[in-house]
């Protein structure tokens, strides 16, 4: 048997005793402490009849109509245009850092000198930070190395041969006890799989950090007969904007309903609760509230009554019940 190598235990605290993360990363640039920017949606969003007619003509032609714009215009009679209403899209972007510990074991004493190198502390004690705000990616640093006795051979560099159970011989019916064919001789073999015969292994502890964005969306407003996913993709007017670190204070947004504010505050609190433990923290948050105008229009197309909705600053049109044929009987659906 090989001689057991003497080793002293490391005097360090382990990852098994995590500490809560600090409030925010001081390495990031200072945050803008200015008050949130607010503004009202403009009355210019109200649609005029001439503009509505032109939008409907373009919409009808975009549906593969073969008529000329003048012919389509003669078939459209714009009726009442209702006051503009708004759908609101609240977007909360949280810049999150998550840390975890990893380790790997290699053969031999890889600490250079002594039995350990570095200092094993909680994952938040190490200096890991992004180059800029809202940078997304992963980083990993080596925190600590510790040499230990090999758990396979007990630090002796050799262990009993599994083929002969440590006897050095095996029984053969023809020749009786013969030397172990594995070549162990003395009943032991070199511990090649774990410590490579050195009797020692080195555990390398690393800290990995992931920086990412997590987005929460709340979409609300008066119901309209346009699919939400269409309206959400439309452009709107920013009416509220806030950017703050490490988190936005849950507080009511001016000029919004109590129900909407309660849901927004709940969204902020839920996101914060997800990152109030030991593994992750919020570095910064930014919120944006956009008002998307939606206008309902009564019209007649080819003498048949229907409704249309014009939404977004780009003035997209939704008119599902417009007559499916025009003067030339072409299909729009």
Is residue 246 in some structural domain?
A: yes
Based on the fold, state whether residues 134 and 184 are members of the same structural domain.
Answer: yes
Q: Which of 190, 198, 189 is nearest to 107 (CA)?
A: 198
Is residue 9 in some structural domain?
A: no
Based on the fold, state whether residues 45 and 174 are members of the same structural domain.
Answer: no
Residue pLDDT, tens place only, 251-284: 888 888 899 999 999 999 999 999 988 889 999 9
Omega before 246 within 30 of 0, i.e. cis: yes
Based on the fold, state whether residues 195 and 103 are members of the same structural domain.
Answer: yes
Instruction: Report the relative pairing of strands 188-190 and 158-160 from DSSP bridges.
Output: antiparallel
Supply the pLDDT for residue 32. Answer: 34
Q: Which of 119, 98, 81, 86 is nearest to 289 (CA)?
A: 86
Would you mind telling me the total number of residues written for the chain in this entry? 333
The C-alpha atoms of residue 140 and residue 208 are separated, in whole angstroms, by 4
Based on the fold, state whether residues 187 and 263 are members of the same structural domain.
Answer: no
Based on the fold, state whether residues 300 and 216 are members of the same structural domain.
Answer: yes
Other beta carbons less than 10 A from residue 113's beta carbon: 6
The pLDDT mean for the chain works out to: 80
Is residue 228 in some structural domain?
A: yes
Residue corresponding to tokens 């979409």: 219
Is residue 14 in some structural domain?
A: no
Is residue 64 in some structural domain?
A: yes
Based on the fold, state whether residues 85 and 218 are members of the same structural domain.
Answer: yes
Is residue 12 in some structural domain?
A: no
Based on the fold, state whether residues 197 and 217 are members of the same structural domain.
Answer: no
Q: Is the pLDDT of residue 201 over 80?
A: yes
Domain interval for residue 78: 37-93+211-318
In DSSP terms, 100 is beta-bridged to 208
How many domains does the structure of the chain reveal?
2
Q: What is the pTM of this model?
A: 0.72
Segment 2-14 mean pLDDT: 47
Angle at 230 between CA 227 and CA 236, to 5 degrees: 120
Based on the fold, state whether residues 87 and 216 are members of the same structural domain.
Answer: yes
| Dihedral pair phi/psi, residue 76, rounded to 5° | -105, 125
Based on the fold, state whether residues 200 and 260 are members of the same structural domain.
Answer: no
Query: Which of 188, 209, 230 marks a domain boundary?
Result: 209
Query: Which of 209, 244, 273 marks a domain boundary?
Result: 209
Is residue 279 in some structural domain?
A: yes
Q: Say what percent of the chain tops pLDDT 90.
A: 32
Based on the fold, state whether residues 197 and 226 are members of the same structural domain.
Answer: no
Based on the fold, state whether residues 296 and 236 are members of the same structural domain.
Answer: yes
Q: Which of 28, 27, 210, 18 is nearest to 125 (CA)?
A: 18
Q: Are 21 and 124 in contact (CB under 8 A)?
A: yes
Q: How confident is the model at residue 33 (pLDDT cuts 50, 70, 90)?
A: very low
Is residue 258 in some structural domain?
A: yes
Query: Which of 153, 188, 209 marks a domain boundary?
Result: 209
Residue with more model confidence, 300 or 323: 300
Based on the fold, state whether residues 219 and 181 are members of the same structural domain.
Answer: no
Q: Are 30 and 133 in contact (CB under 8 A)?
A: no
């Amino acid at each position: 048997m090989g001689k057991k190598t003497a080793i002293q235990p490391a005097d360090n605290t382990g990852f098994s005793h995590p500490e809560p993360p600090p409030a925010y990363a001081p390495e990031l640039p200072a945050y803008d402490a200015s008050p949130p920017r607010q503004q009202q949606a403009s009355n210019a969003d109200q649609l005029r009849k001439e503009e509505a007619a032109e939008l409907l003509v373009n919409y009808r032609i975009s549906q593969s109509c073969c008529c000329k714009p003048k012919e389509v215009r003669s078939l459209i009679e714009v009726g009442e245009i209702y006051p503009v209403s708004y759908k609101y899209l609240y977007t909360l972007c949280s810049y999150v850092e998550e840390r975890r510990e990893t380790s790997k074991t290699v053969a031999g004493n890889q600490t250079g000198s002594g039995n350990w190198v570095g200092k094993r502390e909680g994952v938040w004690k190490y200096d890991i930070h992004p180059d800029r705000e809202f940078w997304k990616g992963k980083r990993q640093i080596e925190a600590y190395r510790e040499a230990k006795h090999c758990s396979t051979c007990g630090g002796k560099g050799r262990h009993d041969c599994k083929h002969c159970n440590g006897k050095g011989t095996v029984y053969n019916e023809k020749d009786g006890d013969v030397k172990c064919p594995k070549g162990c001789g003395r009943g032991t073999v070199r511990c090649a799989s774990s410590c490579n015969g050195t009797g020692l292994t080195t555990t390398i502890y690393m800290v990995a950090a992931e920086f990412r964005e997590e987005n929460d969306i709340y979409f609300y407003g008066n119901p309209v007969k346009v699919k939400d996913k269409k309206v959400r993709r439309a452009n709107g007017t920013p009416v509220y904007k806030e950017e703050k670190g490490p988190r936005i204070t849950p507080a009511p947004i001016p000029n919004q309903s109590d129900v909407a504010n309660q849901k927004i505050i709940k969204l902020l609190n839920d996101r914060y609760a997800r990152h109030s433990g030991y593994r992750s923290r919020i570095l910064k948050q930014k919120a944006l509230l956009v008002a998307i105008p939606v206008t309902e229009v009564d019209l007649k197309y080819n003498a048949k009554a229907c409704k249309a909705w014009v939404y977004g600053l780009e003035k997209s049109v939704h008119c599902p019940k417009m007559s499916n044929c025009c003067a030339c009987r072409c299909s729009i659906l």
